[in-house]
């Protein structure tokens, strides 16, 4: 039995036979061609490129129909690369001037491009370099007449183990037969991870080289909740899996029945659970699971998945789709949180020199320095505000001046719209993310000026504990249960309470059932979470009373180690909801 750990990017535990996809290290057959074959070889390169472009367009259409235009935009970027005149010129030149075979020329040119991108040392750019390797793979596949036939010819359920899965391959996976997948490479922000979540296929990425000895057909357990792949499980592990599957099924059935029931504590306190979304398509999953609205709409994904700056119409159309699905339910539209690990392709140059992008020009700082970009988005938000219950929220606010400047620009845009006779909601609530320690320390000052707070624990933990949220080498130090984090949440609650302002927790901490009694005990009544977590969290809320939650949070706040806090909370969860602890 082999057990491997990676990054869990899409939850669920499944068992099935392994389908191992080749490492894709195509063997380049010839390095040189004879001079008189050059024209024929150039023609072969162009034919392969045309077929690849056609395939990409077909993928784009398929994904657009299945998942929506935002996801399909990934393929526009691929297409743009395949049609890049510089790339074509360099390959042609190697074939024509140096008599290299098209296979060798393609591999050399594309790898050079990808390596240059990776050398910039930026996580986002490194992941985009994978798109270039994807294009290389596609071109070589056509030139060499090979393809990953296995994926399109599936006739029985499998678990895919691959060095890498391209976004194209992931988006077109047949969910009837693909139980889950695990890849050796990849990170949290890769398109492959985003698509796995949207398709709700259990998935793990970033396992490191480990599938070399697996030939296919072996039994695999893929645990997308804990990021574990177990190859050839022993009898005891299999028995544990079967037992937990049976229990999970019972839990899922019971949780489905909670979808229409309110998130209400044992003593009748109503708790609002909202969904976090990146794309308008996800809103339906939230509504189906009984969300009370959208507590965090990460609008930067509109930028990230496209290859051009979204227009006011693009923003407006996306917001209207979300609002239409939500009816009267609130929708918190967060303004662009671009920068750090979220850099759109079209802005890569602007960020290339940043030594420390997590502390650099990101989020509201970027919007304030780029007023036309900010105003375009604000116009769209305001115009959409007449179609639903919209709230606007600024990310990564670290000083009062930033908040005031952002609000002032919003007021300017309101005046412009008024002059143009365009209707909008003048009183729409204006809130801010609390995700920088300075915002907590000044929470009282902020509370006088904002309409609501939303605590972004993902960044708050990173900036408080000086611990990169996406670096696996410090993952053990990145703890939601750290006493400093509990204290910061207490401080925000106290300040908000004084000025009667609403507080939501929208970081991943609130999607973890262990932390729900603690958060309720600290006074939280609004949680914004990953859509698939909603039923489980509702279950916790419905099994605890506020007085019990307060006892739990009081005890947790007395502990001085993150490890002890988390251990204590796990114990409390297994007492309150034993089924949720696996």
| Interface residues toward ligand PEP, by CB under 6 A | 296, 298, 337, 435, 456-459, 506-507
CA nearest to 291, candidates 66, 510, 460: 510
Taking CB under 5 A as the criterion, the residue among 295, 456, 513, 517 binding Mg ion is 456
293's contact among ligand PEP, Mg ion, none, with CB below 5 to 8 A by partner kind, is: none
Given the complex with ligand PEP, which of 289 and 469 has the nearer CB atom? 469
Q: Is 459 in the site for Mg ion (CB under 5 A)?
A: yes
Q: Sheet with 2-5: list strands edge to edge.
A: 2-5, 228-231, 219-223, 13-20, 158-162, 178-183, 203-205, 7-10
DSSP 380: H
306's contact among ligand PEP, Mg ion, none, with CB below 5 to 8 A by partner kind, is: none
Given the complex with ligand PEP, which of 99 and 458 has the nearer CB atom? 458
Piece in contact with Mg ion (CB under 5 A), picked from 246-254, 375-383, 427-435, 532-540: 427-435
CB atoms within 10 A of CB 61: 12
Counting beta carbons within 10 angstroms of the beta carbon of residue 76, is it exposed (0 to 12), middle (13 to 18) or buried (19 or more)?
Answer: middle
Q: What is the SS3 assignment for 156-212?
A: CCEEEEECCCCHHHHHCCCCCCEEEEEECCCCCCCHHHHHHHHHCCCEEECCCCCCC
User: Which H or E run contains 125?
Assistant: helix 123-143
Given the complex with ligand PEP, which of 14 and 296 has the nearer CB atom? 296
Helices (H) and strands (E) in the chain, counts: 24, 16
Q: How far is the CB of 365 from Mg ion (least distance, A)?
A: 13
Instruction: Report d(CA 330, CA 294) in Å as an integer.
Output: 6
| Site residue total, Mg ion (CB under 5 A) | 3
Q: How far is the CB of 507 from ligand PEP (least distance, A)?
A: 3
269's contact among Mg ion, ligand PEP, none, with CB below 5 to 8 A by partner kind, is: none
Given the complex with ligand PEP, which of 78 and 298 has the nearer CB atom? 298
For the chain, the C-alpha Rg in angstroms (whole number) is 25
CA nearest to 396, candidates 357, 448, 349, 350: 357
Piece in contact with Mg ion (CB under 5 A), picked from 55-63, 92-100, 208-216, 450-458: 450-458
Task: Provide the angle, in degrees to the nearest 10, between the axes of the packed helices 534-542 and 235-258.
Answer: 80
Q: Is 122 in the site for Mg ion (CB under 5 A)?
A: no
Given the complex with Mg ion, which of 368 and 417 has the nearer CB atom? 368
CB of 412 within 8 A of CB of 379? no
Given the complex with ligand PEP, which of 107 and 510 has the nearer CB atom? 510
3-state secondary structure of 257: helix
Task: Provide the angle, in degrees to the nearest 10, between the axes of the packed helices 123-143 and 69-82.
Answer: 70
Q: How far is the CB of 278 from Mg ion (least distance, A)?
A: 13
Q: How far is the CB of 145 from ligand PEP (least distance, A)?
A: 43
Q: How far is the CB of 456 from Mg ion (least distance, A)?
A: 4
506's contact among Mg ion, ligand PEP, none, with CB below 5 to 8 A by partner kind, is: ligand PEP
Q: How far is the CB of 463 from ligand PEP (least distance, A)?
A: 9
The 147-186 contact track toward Mg ion, x by CB under 5 A, reads ----------------------------------------
Instruction: Report d(CA 493, CA 440) in Å as an integer.
Output: 10
Instruction: Report d(CA 414, CA 430) in Å as an integer.
Output: 13
Given the complex with ligand PEP, which of 312 and 341 has the nearer CB atom? 341
Piece in contact with Mg ion (CB under 5 A), picked from 23-31, 171-179, 420-428, 459-467: 459-467
Residues marked active site are found at 191, 506
Catalog residues that contact Mg ion under the rule CB under 5 A.
Answer: 435, 456, 459
């Amino acid at each position: 039995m082999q057990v491997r750990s990676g990054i869990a990017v899409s939850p669920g535990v499944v068992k099935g036979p392994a389908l191992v996809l080749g490492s894709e290290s195509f063997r380049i057959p010839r390095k040189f061609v004879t001079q008189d074959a050059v024209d024929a070889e150039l023609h072969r390169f162009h034919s392969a490129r045309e077929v690849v472009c056609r395939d990409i367009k077909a993928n784009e259409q398929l994904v657009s129909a299945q998942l929506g235009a935002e996801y399909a935009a990934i393929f526009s970027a691929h297409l743009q690369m395949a049609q890049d005149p510089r790339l074509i010129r360099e390959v042609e030149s190697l074939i024509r001037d140096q008599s290299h075979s098209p296979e060798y020329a393609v591999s050399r040119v594309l790898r050079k491009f990808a390596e240059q991108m990776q050398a910039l040392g930026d996580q986002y750019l490194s992941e985009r370099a994978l798109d270039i390797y994807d294009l290389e793979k596609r071109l070589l596949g056509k030139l060499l007449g090979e393809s990953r036939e296995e994926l399109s010819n599936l006739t029985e359920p499998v678990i895919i183990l691959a060095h890498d899965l391209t976004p194209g391959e992931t988006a077109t996976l047949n969910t009837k037969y693909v139980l889950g997948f695990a890849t050796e490479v990849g990170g949290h922000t890769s398109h492959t991870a985003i698509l796995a979540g949207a398709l709700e296929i259990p998935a793990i990425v970033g396992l490191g080289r480990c599938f070399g000895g697996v030939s296919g057909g072996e039994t695999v357990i893929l645990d997308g909740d804990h990021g574990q792949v177990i190859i050839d499980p022993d009898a005891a592990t299999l028995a544990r899996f079967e037992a937990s599957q049976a229990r999970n099924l019972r839990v899922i059935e019971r949780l489905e029945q909670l979808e229409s029931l309110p998130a209400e504590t044992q003593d009748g306190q109503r708790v609002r659970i909202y969904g976090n979304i990146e794309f308008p398509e996800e809103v339906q999953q939230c509504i189906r699971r009984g969300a009370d609205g959208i507590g965090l709409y990460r609008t930067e994904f509109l930028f990230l998945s496209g290859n051009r700056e979204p227009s006011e119409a693009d923003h407006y159309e996306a917001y209207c789709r979300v609002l239409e699905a939500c009816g009267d339910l609130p929708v918190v539209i967060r303004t662009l949180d671009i920068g750090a690990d979220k850099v759109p392709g079209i802005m890569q140059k602007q960020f290339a020199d940043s030594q420390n992008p997590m502390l650099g020009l990101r989020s509201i700082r970027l919007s304030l320095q780029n007023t036309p970009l900010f105003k375009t988005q604000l116009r769209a938000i305001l115009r959409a505000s007449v179609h639903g219950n919209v709230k606007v929220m600024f990310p990564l606010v670290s000083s009062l001046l930033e908040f005031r400047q952002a609000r002032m620009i919003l007021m300017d845009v309101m005046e412009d719209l008024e002059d143009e006779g365009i209707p909008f909601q003048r009183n729409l609530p204006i809130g801010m993310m609390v995700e920088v320690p300075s915002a907590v320390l000044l929470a009282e000052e902020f509370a006088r000026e904002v309409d609501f707070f939303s605590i972004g624990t993902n960044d708050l933990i990173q900036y408080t504990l000086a611990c990169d949220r996406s670096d696996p080498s410090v993952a053990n130090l990145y703890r939601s249960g750290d006493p400093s984090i509990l204290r910061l949440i207490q401080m925000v609650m106290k300040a908000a309470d004084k000025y009667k302002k609403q507080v939501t927790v929208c970081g991943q901490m609130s999607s973890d059932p262990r932390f729900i009694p603690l958060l309720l005990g600290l006074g939280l009544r609004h949680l914004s979470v990953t859509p698939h977590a909603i039923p489980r969290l509702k279950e916790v809320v419905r099994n605890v009373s506020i007085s019990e939650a307060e006892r739990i949070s009081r005890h947790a706040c007395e502990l001085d180690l993150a490890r002890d806090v988390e251990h204590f909370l796990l114990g409390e969860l297994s007492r309150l909801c034993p089924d949720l602890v696996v």
